[in-house]
Structure 1
Amino acid sequence: MDYRAVALPVGRLMVLLSLFMLLPAAADLLAGNPDWVGFAVAALIVGCFGSVATLAFLKSDHRLGIRETLVLVNAAWLAFSLAGALPLYLSGLNLSLTDAVFEAASGLTTTGATVLTGLDQMPPGILLWRSLLQWVGGIGIVVLGIWLLPGLRVGGSQLFAIESSETSAKPYGRIEPFLVRLLLLYCGLTIVCMALYRIAGMTGFQALNHALTTVSSGGFSTSDQSMGQFDSLAILWIATVFMLLSGLPFLFMMRVVERGDFRDHEQVTFFVALATAASLAAFVVLHLGATDTPFRELTLSVFHVVSIITTTGYAAGDYLQWGAFATALFFLATFLGGCSGSTSGGFKAFRMLVLIQLIRSLVAGMCRPHRIAEPHFAGERLSPSVSEGVLVFGLLYAVTFAVFALLYAAAGLDAETALSGSITALANVGPGVGPIIGPSGTFQSLPDVVKWLLAFQMILGRLEIVSGIIILTPDFWLER
């Protein structure tokens, strides 16, 4: 294991994070809020650590193998979560270390679970920092690191595949042009989203924060009421459109924009169809039990379903008050997630399609034993490695959800909170189900041990579980 190959990119990423801290510091300074000192001190500390690591290994020639890559992915997320918590801990909010780390990890993993209340009166620096954490986490800390590290001859597509579950290898030949296009698309979506929010009635600061957390599928807001603070159907539809776009594969969107290429549309079609069906079901339930206008009911239904299924986690009201069926629907939607290669978390549409194909081929083989029924995706036969990978991930996903739910129950949480807390952290959704961590609650009242476990589970879910679990096995650390 060459730890120097890990220390250099992590150091550079820490320097990058320290520069981001200067933005909320400037916001607080302009607003006359003393928290700017905490951001400045945090930037200095994180920047110094990052600079030392960078300068120490800058001239050394190291290559990232698969083991170093896995360590880098995990180390980057853990280091960023701790560093991102520092300005929160130093702020005037008087947060405990546990709450600061939880909030930072929730932001970076774009989960959107929060321990904070009183957001409407929160200093601008804190609000902006939470949004920036989600925006950075949405594109992927490791992806940003690859773009900044061309001199290391990093296997960039390998790193990108681990972080985002995108399986296409070097779609633009070299990784640098691909990542430049990726960042341009990400920034472009953010700017357009912000402009539309501003036109729809948000202030400039609100539009900036919500654009950062919409495109990243994060869900942090500037108010305890989340999107309900605006009472605007136009804003809800803008959010819905950009949440859907952010749930699509970024490689797919890049091909559409640049070449008009709609290949690999199967999971996109499946994802949109799934969101449409769930939205219609929610609309029927809401329409039967409410007295609002049909268009408003449709807007609320589509908005909340898309928010949950893309793991964004915005809310425009307490949708758990819509009845038992709606509660069950939203709980199940928490498991799903967006497309592979998007900013969304969850199980992902690609894996669901693969599982459906595997089940169909198995059933066909049982009905006609002499018939060769091979699973296909996008018109091509699924390789055994892909099928095995999806099956293993599905098993790990279920086991991880169950194990953490049992741990939360053992820590004293009720069954509803334990189950929904486990899946909302693993899928990086944000709000759970129930009165404690539902859309009208926060995670503040949970025991500290539960918050640490949730933070770890958020990171595990963001890293697609496998890359987080594999480094915990003894065989990974054995020298060959």
Structure 2
Amino acid sequence: MNFRAIALPIGRLLVLISAMMIVPALADALAGNRDWQVFLVSSLVLGTAGLLTALAFRGEPPPSNFREAIIFVNAAWFAFSCAGAVPFVFSELGIGITDAFFESASGLTTTGSTILTGLETLPPGILLWRALLQWIGGIGVVAIGIWLLPGLRVGGSQLFALESSESSTKPYGHTWPFLVRLLALYAFLSITCAALYMLCGMTAFNAVIHSMTTVSTGGFSTSDQSFGQFPGVTVYWVASLFMHTSSLPFLYLIRSVEKPPAKRDTQVLLLLAIIFVASFGVFLAERYVVYDTPFHMFTLAVFNVVSVISTTGYAANDYLQFGPAVIGIFFVLTFLGGGGSGSTSGGFKMFRIAILANYLKCLLRKMVRPHRVLEPRYQGALVPNAVLEGILVFAVLYIGTFAGFAMIYFFLGLDLETALSASITALANVGPGVGDTIGPSGTFQTLPDTAKWCLAIEMILGRLEILAGILLLTVDFWRD
């Protein structure tokens, strides 16, 4: 195995991340905050380390096989989480390594869980860096979902091959044409979202921060109140639109722009149906607790539902105060996740639910008439056995990983509600959990350090669709 080939792209990407630190450094310098020196020194040190690594291994080919790709993506997420934590450690926040790594990992995985409070009083550099981590992480997640996960057969990119002659692992035949389209779409969504936020009354700073954390479905905000700091209803509908759009596969979005599909996509319709049903249920429960205009209550219901199911994690209000039924709705939504692989959202994802539902339907019909030949389909095309097996394996691992980490948190002293909620919100990369401690109005600050490290690992596992991380623990993976 060529570990030099793995180190080369990590070094190059480390240079890119260090360059991004110049942005918060400039923001703090303009605001007169001394943390600009922290960002500048961090950028120079990390950039030098990345440049030396890239120069030392220049000429090496990129990871050329599946094992090298798996090792690279695991090493990259851990290395970049460490790099992103450096400014937090040495800034005036006064937090330790554990909290800094947790915040950085939460940002890069676009989870949005935080240990910070008093966001309104934080310097602009820290707020910008948190948003940039999520924005960088969002585009990284899309790339992983399209190029790496098809090899695990748990991603969704293979489904595009069911409807075209193109290879699902190489959209448009080559990497560069698709990369240009991907970056253009990501930038367009970010700029458009920021512009609309400003039209809704946000300051330019807030608009930029929230556009980056909306399009990346990350959820970091500039206030402890999250979106509750913004008045009116228009801003909530804008946010809901972009959260929903970003939770759809970017490959699907690009192809929809270039050549609108002749038929509607199943995962998109399923996602919209769940959003409608859940929003209506939350709205009905909200009417008995909150005295407000029906339209405003429905707006908040839709916003909160889209925020959770897209795994963004914004909050307009403390929706957990609406009763056990609403708590149950949001707990289930946390499991589901957005449209599909190759999007910035996390969770189980709609395409897997659609395929498993069709598979279950086939099994039930076979039980009635055993001699019938029925195969699961998606968008009218047969689902290959390899893809179906991968999804079934993922489902088992998803539940098993959730339960395993929940038990760890319970044994570390968390109450059962918090342990279960913390596990699924980290695994699905949602952000806020359920309960007084880590709910929409709380933070993860008071959790034990061991629990924070476990949560950070679980966030990364969730971003790697679990299997990419678990493979490293198997003996066969390391055998030649």
* TM-score, length of structure 1 as denominator length: 0.95
Distance 1:122 1:427, change over 3 A: same
- Deviation, 1:110, is 0.4
- Partner secondary structure for residue 334 of structure 1: helix
Does structure 1 residue 391 correspond to structure 2 residue 382? Answer: no
Looking at structure 2, the residues matched to 344 and 17 of structure 1 have their Cα atoms a distance apart, in angstroms, of 22
Q: Look up the equivalent residue of 2:157 and give its one-letter code.
A: E
Tell me what 1:166 maps to: 157
Hey, what's the Cα distance between the residues in 2 that align with 1:185 and 1:85?
Answer: 28
* Deviation of the 1:61 alpha carbon: 4.0
Conserved 8 A contact 2:156-2:351: no
Deviation at 1:266, TM superposition (A): 1.0
CA distance in 2, matches of 1:339, 1:53: 37
Which residue is equivalent to 2:456? Answer: 455
Residues 283 and 298 in structure 2, CA contact (< 8 A), matched pair in contact too: yes
Cα 1:159–1:44 shift into 2, 3 Å: farther
The 10-residue stretch of structure 1 (429-438 or 249-258) with the greater mean CA deviation from structure 2? 249-258
Other-structure match for 1:150: none
Residues 224/97 of structure 1: CA separation in 2 closer, same or farther (3 Å cut):
same
Structure-1 residue corresponding to 2:112: 112
Give distance in 2, aligned partners of 1:42 and 1:465: 31
- Within 2, Cα distance between the matches of 1:266 and 1:215? 22
Q: Distance in 1 between matches of 2:331 and 2:157?
A: 26
**Distance in 1 between the 2:203 and 2:379 partners?**
44
Which residue is 2:161 aligned to? Answer: none
Show CA shifts across 1:67-104 (max 9, x none): 00000111111111000000111100011000000000
Q: 1:295 to 1:205 in 2, by over 3 A?
A: same
1:477 aligns with 2:478: yes
Name the stretch that deviates more: 62-71 or 429-438.
62-71
Compute the RMSD of aligned alpha carbons. Answer: 1.6
Deviation at 1:165, TM superposition (A): 4.5
Distance 2:148 2:206 in 1: 37
**CA separation of 1:165 and 1:463: change in aligned 2, threshold 3 A:** farther
Match of 1:286 in 2: 286
AA partner of residue 409 (structure 2)? Y
Partner of 2:346: 345
| Residues 177 and 263 of structure 1, relative CA distance in 2, 3 Å threshold | farther
Asked if 1:42 corresponds to 2:32, the answer is: no
Q: SS state of the match for residue 327, structure 1?
A: helix
Cα deviation, 1:162-211, whole Å, max 9, x if unaligned, reads 69753333221111110110110011000000000001000000000000
Q: Deviations along 1:363-390, whole A, 9 cap, x unmatched?
A: 0111111111211111111111111001
**Contact 1:142/1:160 (<8 A) preserved:** no
| Matched length | 469
Q: State the partner residue of 1:322.
A: 322
Q: Which residue is equivalent to 1:252? A: 252
Q: Distance in 2 between matches of 1:305 and 1:13?
A: 35
Q: Secondary structure at the match of 2:370?
A: coil
C-alpha displacement at 1:157, in angstroms? Answer: 3.4
The TM-score with structure 2 as length reference comes to 0.95
Give deviations 1:429-448, integer Å, cap 9, x for gaps: 00000000000000000000
2:312–2:431 contact (8 Å) kept in structure 1: yes
Give the partner amino acid of 2:432: P
Letter in 1 for 2:36: W
- Separation in 2, partners of 1:264, 1:473: 40
How has the CA–CA distance of structure 1 residues 141 and 347 changed in structure 2, closer, same or farther, with 3 Å as cutoff? closer
Q: Does 1:432 align with 2:433?
A: yes
Tell me the residue number matched to 1:308.
308
**SS of the residue aligned with 1:445?**
coil
User: Residues 41-440 of structure 1: matches in 2 within 5 Å?
Assistant: 41-61=41-61, 63-140=63-140, 143=143, 157-158=147-148, 165-167=156-158, 168-261=168-261, 265-340=265-340, 341-440=342-441
Instruction: Provide structure 1 residue ranges, at least 5 long, that are not aligned to the other structure.
Output: 147-155
Distance in structure 2 (CA, Å) of the matches to 1:349 and 1:476:
30
1:262/1:419 CA distance change after superposition, 3 Å: farther
Equivalent-residue separation in structure 2 for 1:142 and 1:54 (angstroms): 24
Q: Distance in 2 between matches of 1:59 and 1:451?
A: 39
> Separation in 1 of the partners of 2:260 and 2:278?
29
Cα distance in 2 between the residues matched to 1:264 and 1:49: 48
Kindly indicate whether the alpha-carbon contact (under 8 Å) linking 2:142 and 2:344 is maintained by their aligned counterparts in 1: no
Deviations 1:209-253 (A, max 9, x none): 000000000000000000001122111111001001011111111
Partner SS for 1:288: coil
* 3-state DSSP of counterpart to 2:355: helix
Task: Check the 8 A contact 2:6/2:62 in 1, yes or no.
Answer: no
**Aligned 8 A contact 1:335 1:346 in 2:** yes
Q: 1:235 to 1:250 in 2, by over 3 A?
A: same
Q: CA deviation at 1:143?
A: 3.1
Q: What secondary structure does 1:104 align onto?
A: helix
- CA positional deviation for 1:262: 5.1
Q: Output the CA distance in 1 between the equivalents of 2:262 and 2:120.
A: 42
User: Which residue in 1 is equivalent to 2:165?
Assistant: none
The separation in 2 between residues aligned to 1:61 and 1:238, in whole angstroms, is 44
Residue 347 to residue 62, structure 1, CA distance change in 2 (3 Å): closer
Asked if structure 2 preserves the Cα contact closer than 8 Å seen for 1:252 and 1:262, the reply is no
Judge conservation of contact 2:119–2:222 (CA < 8 Å) in 1. yes
Conservation of the 8 A alpha-carbon contact between 2:275 and 2:305: yes
* 8 A Cα contact 1:142 1:159, kept in partner: no
C-alpha distance after superposition, 1:96-144 (max 9, x if no partner): 0000000000000000000000100100000000000000111116839
Letter of the 2:117 counterpart: T
Q: Determine the C-alpha separation between the residues in 1 that align with 2:156 and 2:57.
A: 29
